[in-house]
């Protein structure tokens, strides 16, 4: 993981966590009951996250171990590419490399499924908590503990807190990967070495004459504890004497002292530095005269002087140099050891190329590539062509997962409207919303698992395929290509891992996020246009400002101060070369010098990262300003529309619902259906009538009411207000129907004839 990405993830994580805490603080200050109920869900979220973290860390650690093993094979093969090509062993080397990567594929696939289940479970718990919250808030409103507005704002605060916790979950998964990668690093840092080369408490010899004596020495290499090298070995070498150690390979000739010994390895190595700096590894304080004398004694001075930059000529890393130049003559040691010189005696001139096109000059420009070719997106995505089925399934899962959040927002707004309705309606609406949230909880587990499992398989297969292709392509190159400073074994092994990982990040990981956001945006726009297209258009008008702020931030993080990865390449190369040639470093006691060089290579990238982060933070602040300004604009414009009655709570769906409710309602009194009346005498009978108004069903107007009005007779209905006098007329005119009993005209039921025809025979005075 690059430091810039980790820096952004830490910032995002702290942003979401502070929002989570702030939401709960405001919630407890407003209505503590709602916040307390929501807070009870947090342990479940923590438990789900803990299980997810435990499983993921274990799988990622196994993936890292497999990658390390494969990387060791790759670096070893590339470092000995001459031997590999000499014996036509390219195909065998590629097979060994791929076999080491296959375990990584298996672990990576399981890690993708674990990530999907983990994130799905987190969102599942969030949806269930929201269902509980919507229901409990309705109880708070119904019992008049708080009004709908206060209850909704409190609920919204704690809901945003839960959302923030969910948005922080992907950052947690990134931290888990970083933790798994950091474990072997800290394990190495904390390891106590048995060889205290830098210890200041050890005894320092004032003068070394060079008399060496071995007395009953027993020795085994730590990597091969079962193989005895020396068993009570004795040897005496007087000062100034030349002693030749003769024996078969592995008999112990190379096992020797350091500090005052000039060591010449069987395969002497030169570091990625100038000729002068390589000689100085033998003696830190050597003057130019001593350096020149060392080169002259090793018969290398003549061709060094013919090089364009002389002693400042930059040497390609891992080159094989003259065995006795810097190591021995630079220090003028009391003892000099040469291991099997006849085995691999090489000419220094073969290492320092005199061709101007091959010499790499010291400086920052050495890291610049000869040319960068732009790769089309079509070719980029063609790399995942064989795994298209996983891409299709993962796309469906990502789109569905992104669509869940807008549907949640719609449910919350429906809950707000329900809180202002009568209790029966509120209870019915809240029940419906809670059921929908529970369904969303189940769906989130399914779609997140499908998304990350499918893209996890596709990503691992892509990484495996790209690494195989890159490794094969590297081994196909001619030997001269490996002499280039940019094509050292350590740098190629590093690129083999980083380039494949970067390609996976672009093609798979970033595409997953993009598809997830596409589902979110499309669903949000559809819902927004349905609810109120005017406000939606106004908010969309602010998008160019928001998007430009995001783009400025990303471009700045990418381009300011140059590409940090190039700056870190030199430090990585130095570290890799030092580790691969650790015997040479230890022989010259150059550990401190290597560490100082490595630290100096990290200073400039660190400084650029800090400056770039500060300025990128300003762009992020501007982007947030635009976002919150768009919120304010939407609220203001919404109030204007409400004032003009062009919008309201749930305006679009509300009026559509009322319109179709009126159109679809079947009236209980149909005026044009019934028998035709030919003659009406006017005798009216009420027999056992029971009646109450539909708007007041609990208030009984008539109970077993009987009345007879003969034709041609006048009758006065007398009683106090509300006793039912006008109700008699309403029943006769069939404004209402009785709930029990009969109202008859001339011995016929009143609802038998046409209502409109009957009313035409009646007269009413208000």
pLDDT tens digits for 745-759?
777 766 555 566 666
Measured CA to CA, the distance from residue 740 to residue 687 in angstroms comes to: 9
Tell me which DSSP letter residue 568 carries.
Answer: H
Q: Give the domain CATH number at 585.
A: 1.20.1560.10
Per-residue confidence at 653, pLDDT binned at 50, 70, 90? very low
Q: What is the dihedral of CA 716, 720, 721, 724, to 10 degrees?
A: -60
* Rounded Cα–Cα distance for residues 524 and 530 (Å): 10
Residues 325/296, Cβ–Cβ less than 8 Å: no
pLDDT bin (cut points 50, 70, 90) of residue 370 is very low
* 51 lies in some domain: no
- Percent of the chain scoring above 90 in pLDDT: 1
Most confident of 14-23, 52-61, 276-285: 14-23
**Boundary of a domain, candidates 365, 385, 416:** 365
The whole-angstrom distance between residue 113's C-alpha and the CA centroid of its chain comes to 15
Average pLDDT for 553-574: 61
pLDDT (0 to 100) of residue 314? 63
Helix (H) / strand (E) containing 232 = strand 230-237
Rg of the Cα atoms in the chain: 42
Q: How far apart are CA 741 and CA 749, in angstroms?
A: 11
Contact between 409 and 529 under an 8 Å Cβ cutoff? The reply is no
Give the number of other Cβ atoms within 10 Å of residue 171's Cβ: 19
Tell me the average pLDDT across 13-37: 82
228 plus 319 within the same structural domain: yes
Distance CA 318, CA 14 (A): 44
Q: Which pLDDT does position 254 carry in this prediction?
A: 60
- Specify the CATH number for the domain of residue 732: 3.40.50.300
Interval 614-639 mean pLDDT: 80
Residue 247 lies in a domain: yes
| Short-list 361, 440, 568, 536, CA closest to 123 | 440
**691 DSSP β-pair partners:** 702
- Residues 604, 537, single domain; the answer is yes
Average pLDDT over residues 378-401: 82
- Does the pLDDT of residue 470 top 50, yes or no? yes
DSSP secondary structure letter of residue 485: G
Structural domain tally of the chain?
3
Tell me: pLDDT of 266 over 60. Answer: no
CB neighbours (10 Å) of residue 137? Answer: 27
Quick one: 216 and 361 in the same domain? yes
Domain identity same for 361 and 222: yes
Are 584 and 265 contacting, i.e. CB atoms less than 8 angstroms apart?
Answer: yes
Sign of torsion, CA 339 345 348 353?
Answer: negative
Structural domain containing residue 733: 684-761
Over range 547-560, report the average pLDDT: 64
What is the percent of the chain where pLDDT is above 70?
A: 69
Closest-CA residue to 39 (of 152, 170, 161, 166): 161
Asked if residue 226 is part of any domain, the answer here is yes
Higher pLDDT, 309 or 425: 425
Residue 246 lies in a domain: yes
Q: Let me know if residue 375 belongs to a domain.
A: no
**Shared-domain flag, residues 232 and 341:** yes
**Highest mean pLDDT: which of 221-235, 585-599, 667-681?**
221-235
DSSP output for 392-430 = HHHHHHHHHHHHHHHHHHHHHHHHHHHTTS-HHHHHHHH
Whether the per-residue pLDDT at 110 is higher than 60: the answer is yes
Please calculate the CA angle 304-309-311 and round it to the nearest 5 degrees: 50
Judge whether 44 lies within some domain: no
Whether residues 218 and 300 share a domain: the answer is yes
Tell whether the model's pLDDT for residue 143 goes beyond 60. yes
pLDDT of residue 256: 45
- Cβ count within 10 A of residue 6: 13
Is residue 763 exposed (0-12), middle (13-18) or buried (19+ Cβ within 10 Å)? exposed
Q: Is residue 8 part of a domain?
A: no
pTM of whole model > 0.85?
no
- Within this chain, do residues 600 and 701 fall inside the same structural domain, yes or no? no
Distances (CA, A) of 560 to 567, 619, 621, 699: 13, 13, 18, 79
Point out the domain boundary residue: 648, 673, 699. Answer: 648
Residues in a beta bridge with 214 = 235
In terms of pLDDT, which residue wins out, 653 or 722?
Answer: 722
Q: Which helix (H) or strand (E) is 214 found in, with range?
A: strand 212-219
Of 377 and 699, the one with more pLDDT: 699
Residue in the structure block whose two tokens are 């501007």: 622
State the Cα–Cα distance between residues 537 and 529, nearest whole angstrom: 8
- Helix then strand count (H, E) for the chain reads 25, 10
Q: Please indicate, yes or no, whether residues 621 and 721 belong to a single structural domain of this protein.
A: no
Q: Which of 179-188, 245-254, 285-294, 481-490 is predicted least confidently?
A: 245-254
Task: Provide the pLDDT confidence category of residue 283 given band limits of 50, 70 and 90.
Answer: low
Q: What are phi and psi of 715, to 5 degrees?
A: -135, 135
Domain final position from 365, 382, 397: 365
**Predicted confidence (pLDDT) at residue 251 exceeds the cutoff of 60:** yes
Q: State which of 63-72, 241-250, 260-269, 685-694 shows the largest mean pLDDT.
A: 685-694
SS3 431: helix
| Least confidently predicted of 121-130, 342-351, 473-482, 539-548 | 342-351
- Residue 548 gets which letter from DSSP? H
Whole-number Cα distances in Å, 558 to 232, 373, 421, 613: 62, 18, 53, 11
- Please check whether residue 604 lies inside any domain of the structure: yes
- Separation of alpha carbons 47 and 413, rounded Å: 30
The torsion angle over the Cα atoms of residues 186, 189, 191 and 192, rounded to 10 degrees, is -150
The percent of the chain in helix, strand and coil, each rounded to the nearest 5, is 65, 5, 30
The whole-angstrom distance between residue 75's C-alpha and the CA centroid of its chain comes to 30
- What does pLDDT average to over the chain? 73
Q: Is residue 453 within 8 Å of residue 120, measured between CB atoms? A: no
**pLDDT at residue 667 in the model:** 66
> Do 217 and 332 lie in a common domain?
yes
Q: pLDDT of 708-736, one tens digit each?
A: 888 777 888 887 777 777 888 777 777 78
- 348 or 706, greater pLDDT: 706
For residue 446, what pLDDT band results from cuts at 50, 70 and 90? very high
- Three-class secondary structure of residue 25 per DSSP: helix
In the predicted structure, residue 706 carries a pLDDT above the cut 90: no
Token code pair at residue 609: 């990262």
Q: How far is CA 346 from CA 265, 349, 478, in A?
A: 12, 9, 20
Residues 356 and 229 in one domain: yes
Q: How far is CA 431 from CA 124, 345, 436, 437, 745, in A?
A: 18, 86, 9, 10, 48
Residue 616 sits in the same domain as residue 695: no
Helix (H, G, I), strand (E, B) or coil at 661: helix
CA-CA distance, 708 to 730, in Å (whole number)? 16
Q: How would residue 443 be classed by pLDDT, with cut points 50, 70 and 90?
A: very high
Please indicate, yes or no, whether residues 641 and 738 belong to a single structural domain of this protein: no
Token pair, residue 577, equals: 């070369």
Distance from C-alpha of 668 to C-alpha of 736, rounded to nearest angstrom: 9
């Amino acid at each position: 993981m690059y430091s810039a990405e980790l820096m952004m993830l830490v910032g995002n994580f702290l942003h979401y966590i502070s929002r989570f805490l702030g939401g709960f603080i405001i919630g407890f200050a407003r209505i503590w009951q709602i916040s307390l109920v929501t807070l009870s869900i947090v342990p479940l979220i923590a438990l789900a996250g803990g299980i997810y973290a435990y499983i993921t860390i274990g799988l990622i650690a196994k993936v890292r171990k497999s990658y390390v093993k494969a990387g060791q094979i790759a670096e070893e093969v590339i470092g000995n590419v001459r031997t590999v090509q000499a014996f036509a062993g390219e195909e065998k080397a590629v097979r060994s490399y791929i076999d080491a990567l296959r375990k990584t594929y298996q672990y990576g696939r399981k890690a993708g499924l674990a990530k999907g289940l983990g994130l799905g479970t987190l969102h599942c718990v969030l949806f269930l908590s929201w269902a509980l919250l919507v229901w409990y808030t309705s109880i708070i409103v119904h019992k008049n503990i708080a009004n709908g507005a206060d209850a909704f704002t409190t609920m919204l605060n704690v809901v945003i807190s839960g959302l923030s916790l969910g948005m922080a979950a992907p950052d947690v998964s990134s931290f888990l990967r970083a933790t798994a990668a950091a474990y072997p690093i800290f394990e190495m840092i904390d390891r106590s070495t048995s060889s205290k080369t830098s210890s200041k408490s050890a005894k320092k010899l004032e003068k070394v004459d060079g008399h060496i004596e071995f007395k009953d020495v027993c020795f085994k290499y730590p990597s091969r504890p079962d193989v005895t090298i020396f068993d009570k070995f004795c040897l005496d070498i007087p000062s100034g004497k030349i002693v030749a150690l003769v024996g078969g390979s592995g008999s112990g000739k190379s096992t020797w002292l350091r500090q005052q010994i000039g060591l010449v390895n069987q395969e002497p190595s030169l570091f990625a530095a100038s000729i002068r700096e390589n000689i100085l590894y033998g003696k830190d304080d050597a003057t130019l005269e001593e350096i020149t004398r060392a080169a002259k004694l090793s018969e290398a001075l003549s061709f060094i002087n013919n090089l364009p930059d002389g002693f400042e000529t930059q040497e390609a890393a891992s080159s094989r140099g003259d065995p006795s130049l810097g190591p021995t003559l630079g220090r003028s040691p009391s003892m000099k050891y040469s291991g099997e010189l006849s085995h691999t005696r090489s000419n220094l001139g073969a290492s320092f190329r005199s061709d101007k096109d091959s010499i790499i000059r010291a400086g920052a420009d050495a890291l610049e590539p000869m040319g960068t070719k732009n790769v089309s997106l079509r070719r980029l995505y063609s790399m995942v062509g064989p795994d298209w089925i996983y891409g299709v399934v993962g796309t469906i899962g990502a789109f569905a997962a992104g669509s869940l959040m807008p549907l949640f927002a719609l449910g919350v707004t429906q809950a707000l409207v329900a809180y202002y309705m009568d209790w029966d309606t509120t209870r019915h609406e809240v029940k419906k919303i809670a059921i929908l949230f529970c369904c969303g909880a189940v769906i989130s587990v399914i779609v997140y698992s499908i998304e990350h499992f499918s893209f996890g398989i596709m990503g691992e297969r892509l990484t495996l395929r790209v690494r195989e292709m890159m490794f094969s392509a590297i081994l196909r190159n001619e030997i001269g290509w490996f002499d280039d400073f940019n094509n050292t074994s350590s740098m190629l092994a590093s690129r083999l891992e980083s380039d494949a990982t970067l390609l996976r990040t672009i093609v798979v990981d970033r595409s997953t996020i993009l598809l997830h956001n596409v589902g979110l945006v499309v669903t949000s726009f559809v819902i927004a246009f349905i609810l109120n297209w005017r406000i939606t258009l106004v908010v969309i008008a602010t998008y160019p400002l928001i998007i430009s702020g995001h783009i400025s931030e990303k471009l700045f993080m990418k381009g300011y101060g140059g590409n940090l990865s190039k700056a870190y390449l030199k430090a990585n190369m130095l570290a890799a070369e030092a580790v691969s040639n650790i015997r040479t470093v230890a022989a010259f006691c150059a550990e401190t010098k290597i560490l100082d060089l490595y630290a100096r290579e990290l200073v400039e990238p660190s400084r650029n990262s800090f400056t770039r982060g500060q300025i990128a933070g300003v762009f992020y602040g501007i982007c947030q300003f635009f976002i919150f300004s768009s919120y304010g604009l939407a609220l203001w414009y919404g109030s204007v529309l409400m004032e003009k009655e062009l919008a309201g709570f749930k305006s679009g769906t509300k009026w559509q619902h009322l319109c179709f409710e009126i159109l679809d309602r079947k009236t209980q009194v149909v005026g044009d259906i019934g028998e035709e009346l030919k003659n009406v005498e006017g005798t009216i009978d009420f027999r056992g009538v029971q009646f109450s108004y539909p708007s007041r069903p609990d208030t009984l107007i008539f109970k077993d009411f009987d009345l007879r009005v003969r034709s041609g007779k006048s009758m006065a209905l007398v009683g106090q207000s509300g006793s039912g006098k006008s109700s008699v007329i309403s029943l006769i005119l069939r404004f209402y129907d009785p709930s029990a009993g009969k109202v008859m005209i001339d011995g016929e039921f009143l609802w038998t004839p046409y209502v409109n025809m009957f009313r035409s025979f009646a007269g009413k005075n208000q």
